[in-house]
């Protein structure tokens, strides 16, 4: 899956306090089956697995992988996995890089390296609200087709 896996020193350490707050916030939503905070396979992230009842058949997994750093840099990666073995992915990022402004969005279907410049709030709650609203629109579109 395309993803920014390296943690450049400029991002700083993981902000575990914010990750805990994000996990608690997401746990209040019916969208998710389970929320994992810093699981062994992703010790620097919150993993939020969507309830598949929100999706049409053929989608075997949909999830968010959220990393937040003490520098307020972040990466919020969304992935849908299909029975066919294909996936649909996008990512909201804030970090220094040489391909976009610090705030940028990697569009679907594969969250490719070159993204689109964006502007995100400094508050994690606003960033998360933006992401969830965009994903709610995506999910709703499945049922409008």
Neighbours of 97 (CB within 10 A): 15
Tens-place pLDDT, residues 23-68: 999 999 999 999 999 999 999 999 999 999 999 999 999 999 999 9
Which stretch of DSSP H or E encloses residue 35? strand 32-37
Q: Alpha carbon 9 to chain centroid distance?
A: 21
Q: Quick one: what percent of the chain has pLDDT higher than 70?
A: 92
- pTM value is 0.89
| Per-residue model confidence (pLDDT) at position 145 | 63
| Per-residue model confidence (pLDDT) at position 85 | 94
Q: Phi, psi at residue 124, to the nearest 5°?
A: -60, -35
- Report the alpha-carbon distance of residue 48 to residue 64 in Å, rounded: 5
In the chain, where the domains are located: 11-144
Residue 4 CB partners (closer than 8 Å, separation 6+): 75, 91, 93, 95
Helix, strand, or coil here: 109?
A: coil
Residue 125 pLDDT exceeds 90: yes
């Amino acid at each position: 899956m395309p993803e920014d896996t390296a943690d450049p020193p400029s991002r700083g350490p993981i902000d575990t306090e914010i990750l805990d707050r994000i996990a608690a916030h997401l746990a209040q939503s019916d969208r998710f089956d389970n929320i994992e905070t810093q699981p062994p396979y992703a010790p620097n992230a919150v993993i939020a697995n969507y309830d598949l009842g929100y999706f049409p058949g053929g989608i075997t997994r949909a999830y968010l992988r959220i990393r937040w750093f003490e520098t307020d840099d972040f990466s919020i990666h969304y992935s849908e996995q299909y029975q066919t073995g294909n996936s649909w992915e996008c990512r909201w990022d804030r970090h220094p890089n040489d391909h976009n402004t610090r705030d940028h969005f990697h569009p679907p279907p594969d969250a490719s390296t070159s993204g689109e410049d964006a502007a995100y709030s400094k508050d994690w709650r606003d960033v998360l609200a933006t992401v969830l609203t965009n994903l709610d629109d995506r999910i709703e579109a499945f049922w409008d087709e």
